Amino acid sequence: MADRLSSASARAARREGSSPMRRREALEGYLYLAPWIVGFVAFVGGPILASAYLSFTKYNVMRPPQFNGFQNYVYALAKDDLFIPSIIRTFYFAILSIPPAMVLSLLVAILLNQKFVVNTLWRTMFFLPTLTPVVAAAILWRWMLNPDVGLVNFLLAQVGIKGPGWLSSIEWAIPALALVSLWVSVGGTRMIIFLAGLQDVPQELVEAAEIDGAGIWAKFWNVTLPMVTPTVFFNLVLGIIFALRTFDLAFVSTQGGPARATWFISLHIYQNAFVSFDMGYASALAWMFFLILFALTYLQFRLSGSWVYYAGERR
Amino acid sequence: MMVERAMAGQVVSVKRTTSARASYAGRWALLYLIVVVGSVVSMFPFAWTFLSSGKEISELYRMPPTLWPATPRFVENYQEVWRLVPFGRWLVNTAEVTVLGLIGAVASSTVVAYSFARFRYPGRELFFFVTLSTLMLPVEVTLIPQYLLFKNLGWLDTYYPLVVPSFFGGGAFNIFLMRQFIMTIPLDLDEAAKIDGASSFRVLWQIITPLCKPAIATMATLGFIGGWNSFLGPLIFLNSPEKFLVAVGLRYFNVGAAQGSAAARPQDHLLMAASLMIALPCLILFFVAQKYFVQGIVMSGIKG
């Protein structure tokens, strides 16, 4: 959007100059934005700026922060053995978990958009993992993925595969977490948003394609998918942000282990902030991580112009 | 001969329709199979949690886990939850905070998203990326400044920090979601209404909002579930137990032992029972609200 819309609006501005109409449009735009501006100034911006300042200080919460320049940043990049590996690990988890989650959620949404009998029931059942208490799910997953008595390895053994150690194995802990997150999220928020997006696919277009003899795949690829790209984009951008910020999953099921195999960046920040009470250092870590996330998100918006289709966009 | 040919044609066409019908039925059979298997896989942990909430604590950690409780204690366990903590009070608190916050979030994020999706003004991209940035900065590092802010406002141990900010912006997730949906509505609709003399607010109220019903229903349901289960904010901004919200209250069953209270033993079975009672309103809401997620809008010949 940033790129395409700003260049588009720049072009439009040149064409129309700053006509009274354009000025009115801008004024109204600010008016509808006003609640956000007030909220940001009053509740959000201050704490953000404060954390940016704290990242340049030594601050243990008990005593007032002491300015120490770039020391936190230098330490993180040069001396902290856990910081960079934790970022790489987090990306590994995101790369493993996002693609299957996106594809499966969209397929489930398309499935649950069909005209089944008792549709409400199926949708609710698929959504249940989101409502399942985390404590219970954690106990259950530890059993399912137990290398010796677990259900998953039992099933693998039936087809002659010796299952790995999953959560207790250094190599398999992250794939195991990705598997758990897939189960939790496939029918959850992401799927529901896809389902809402699918309502924007005009039925006439689908029927027209049917009359033209389009098969299921052609209908999906040429009609459905282009119309849901705005929700695909939404789920992709937020999916990446949320996957890279994963905390609960690792905190509850592995506590970052075994041997720090699931020590994600969010755990590292948490550890420094609330266990060693090194809030200045935690802020520096958080801001470096923020810059990575921001760059990634910005890049996605720049690239989105070529694949996201908005019916209500000025061209 | 003509008759023969005609009969042959008939046979072919009959064959074709039966095979088409068979493949149609086969496709539905397959879809039902997938949906039933998927549902069972999805619901299993929830069902297991329910069964476990009627177990004794020792049975909960047996490896491999049991499915049915050896000695069912459903009534006892659920009664115990209500006896140990002011559960009803917490439910009322949570309902109050969640509903108020949700009203603010839905109204305010729709308005803000309308601004981002439909109006051109200097700084729009900047404001939008700042909005998204609030999702990217780890909360751990803004928590203490935020605590100090609400302390200075005299809002600690009140519901203001949990409700008031929702009315100003409504959260980046909701704003971005609504922006995406508003941007799928063709501009022609707005412009036609404007030519007829409609104000921009009327366009929002009478064109955008009705067309975004599935999105708004989705956002409201997800927002309710999120607010109902919110943990960090209530944990930090509230101190008095009688003001607690349910998700924070659940901690009682985790840390009760550490605090040396009556519960000097792990109480995961009660934790499960309480968690399920908390999940119930969300489940009912989801069940009821979802018909609005898929409420198609007839817009023949306008969209696409």
User: Do A271 and A86 meet the contact criterion of CB atoms below 8 Å apart?
Assistant: no
Q: Does A252 touch chain B (CB under 8 A)?
A: no
Give me the interface pTM, i.e. the ipTM: 0.90
> Which pLDDT belongs to residue B263?
47
Which chain B residues contact residue A240 at CB under 8 A?
none
Q: Does B237 touch chain A (CB under 8 A)?
A: no
Q: pLDDT digit string (tens) for A17-37?
A: 568 888 999 999 999 999 999
Q: Does A287 touch chain B (CB under 8 A)?
A: yes
> Which pLDDT belongs to residue B301?
41
Q: Does A113 touch chain B (CB under 8 A)?
A: yes
pLDDT-above-90 percentage for chain A: 55
| Record: contact A290-B301, CB cut-off 8 A | no
Of B128, B295, B304, the CB nearest to A311: B304
Q: Does B283 touch chain A (CB under 8 A)?
A: yes
Q: Does A116 touch chain B (CB under 8 A)?
A: yes
Q: pLDDT digit string (tens) for A261-313?
A: 999 999 999 999 989 999 999 999 999 999 999 999 999 999 998 999 898 87
Of A13, A113, A120, the CB nearest to B291: A120
Per-residue pLDDT of chain B (304 residues; tens, 9 = 90+): 444 545 444 554 555 566 777 788 888 899 999 999 999 989 988 998 899 889 888 887 776 777 888 888 898 889 988 988 898 999 999 999 999 999 999 999 999 999 999 999 999 999 999 999 999 998 888 988 999 999 999 999 999 999 999 999 999 999 999 999 999 999 988 889 989 989 999 999 999 999 998 899 999 999 999 999 988 889 889 988 889 998 888 878 765 444 444 445 567 888 889 999 999 999 999 999 888 888 755 443 444 3
Q: Does B133 touch chain A (CB under 8 A)?
A: yes
2-21 in A: which are within 8 Å (CB) of B? 2, 5-6, 9, 12-13
Domains and CATH numbers, chain B: 88-242 (1.10.3720.10)
pLDDT band for position A236 (cuts 50, 70, 90): very high
Q: Does B58 touch chain A (CB under 8 A)?
A: no
Please tell me the least confidently modeled range out of A12-16, A151-155, A304-308. Answer: A12-16
| Record: contact A311-B46, CB cut-off 8 A | no
Of A55, A237, A282, the CB nearest to B140: A282
Architecture of domain A74-304 in this structure: Orthogonal Bundle (1.10)
> Which pLDDT belongs to residue A296?
96
> Which pLDDT belongs to residue B15?
55
Which chain B residues contact residue A196 at CB under 8 A?
181, 214-215, 217-218, 293-294
Q: Give the start-to-end residue ranges of the domains of chain A.
A: 74-304
- For residue A258, whether the previous peptide bond is cis, meaning omega lies within 30 degrees of 0, is yes
Q: pTM value?
A: 0.89
Q: pLDDT digit string (tens) for A178-230?
A: 999 998 889 999 999 999 999 888 888 888 888 888 888 888 888 889 989 99
